[in-house]
Amino acid sequence: MISDRSRALLDGAHIAPEVLALVPGYRCLLLVAEGLRPGPSDEASEAILAAAEEQARVELGDNPPEALPHVEAWRTAYRAFGAKPQRTRPSVDALLRRVGGGLPRINRLADAYNAVSVGAVLPIGGEDLASYAGSPALVRADGTEPFDTVAAGESVVEHPAPGEVVWRDDLGVTCRMWNWRQCRRTLITESTTEALFVLDGLPELGPEGLEAAGDALEAALGSLSPGAVFARRVID
């Protein structure tokens, strides 16, 4: 059974009305996982990621990622709040562009959610709950929120542009530009045992696509972490 803390995190999550007004039809699936078995990339996570890469290569063929309806919809969503998707790409767009040469192998858990992202063609982010504060919120930034990242090899604190769509917790921005870049504080690492996964869906994904992606992610994580427990919530 999932912990009371994780249940409260899901119950308290929200999307600001101004985000839904910006991109009508947006939905997200939040998946909490506890009892995960972390570690570096291994044969099990390699098999999951390699299968997803091959699936993506077949689906893309010789076409660029924006030929896929859900990818192009995300590029349009980015333009709606002033972002330039050719420079700051939606995460699934950026991943699909790397499929030809092979996706990065990061760690067991990150490999699993990247595999589902390219296989189901939707953005997915992962957050280490040990460093997470409060419940997730998808908002339009006021420009004062801290975002800890790395620039030129040095740890720095940046701030989103006013009006930028960001995921945040009680301490600051956890992901800029909706799903472009995650903060350092809550990155999933080789020691993560409990995590929050954020699956972003637009109408072009289809009515069943978001839940199917959630099922695929839960199955992938469960295969890597027998005995893990999960809870989810869909917000629209």
Q: Where are the domains of the chain?
A: 4-235
Tell me the DSSP string of 91-113: HHHHHHTTTTT-PPP--HHHHHH
What is the pLDDT at residue 199?
Answer: 98
Query: Domain 4-235 maps to which CATH number in 3.40.640.10, 3.40.1640.10, 3.50.40.10, 3.40.50.720?
Result: 3.50.40.10
Q: How many CA atoms lie within 13 A of 68 on its CB side?
A: 24
So what's the pLDDT on residue 171? 97
191: nearest Cα among 105, 104, 133, 130: 130
What is the pLDDT at residue 158? Answer: 95
Which of left, alpha, beta for 163 (phi over 0: left; psi -120 to 50: alpha)? Answer: left
| pLDDT mean for each 10 residues of the chain (236 residues) | 96 97 96 98 97 95 95 96 94 96 96 98 98 98 96 89 97 98 97 98 93 98 98 96
Whether the predicted model's global pTM rises above the 0.85 cut:
yes
Please report the pLDDT score of residue 202 as a whole number: 97
Tokens describing residue 232? 């989810």
119 within 8 A of 52, measured Cβ to Cβ: yes
Q: Do the strands 194-201 and 229-235 form a parallel or antiparallel pair, or are they unpaired?
A: unpaired
CA distance 211 to 29: 8
| Dihedral over Cα of 91, 94, 83, 202: its sign | negative
As a whole number of angstroms, the distance between CA 30 and CA 234 comes to 6
Give the separation between CA 94 and CA 85, rounded to whole angstroms: 10
Res 66: pLDDT: 95
Would you list the DSSP string of the chain?
Answer: ---HHHHHHHHH-EE-HHHHHHSTT-EEEEEEEES----S--HHHHHHHHHHHHHHHHHHTTS-GGGSHHHHHHHHHHHHTT--TTTS--HHHHHHTTTTT-PPP--HHHHHHHHHHHHHTS-EEEEEGGG--S--EEEE--S---EEEEETTEEEEE-PPTT-EEEE-SSSEEEETTTTEE-STT---TT--EEEEEEEE-GGG-TTHHHHHHHHHHHHHHHHSTT-EEEEEEE-
| pLDDT the model gives residue 154 | 82
Give the pLDDT confidence score for residue 82 in this predicted structure: 93
What's the pLDDT score for residue 71?
A: 97
Per-residue confidence (pLDDT) for residue 151, from 0 to 100: 84
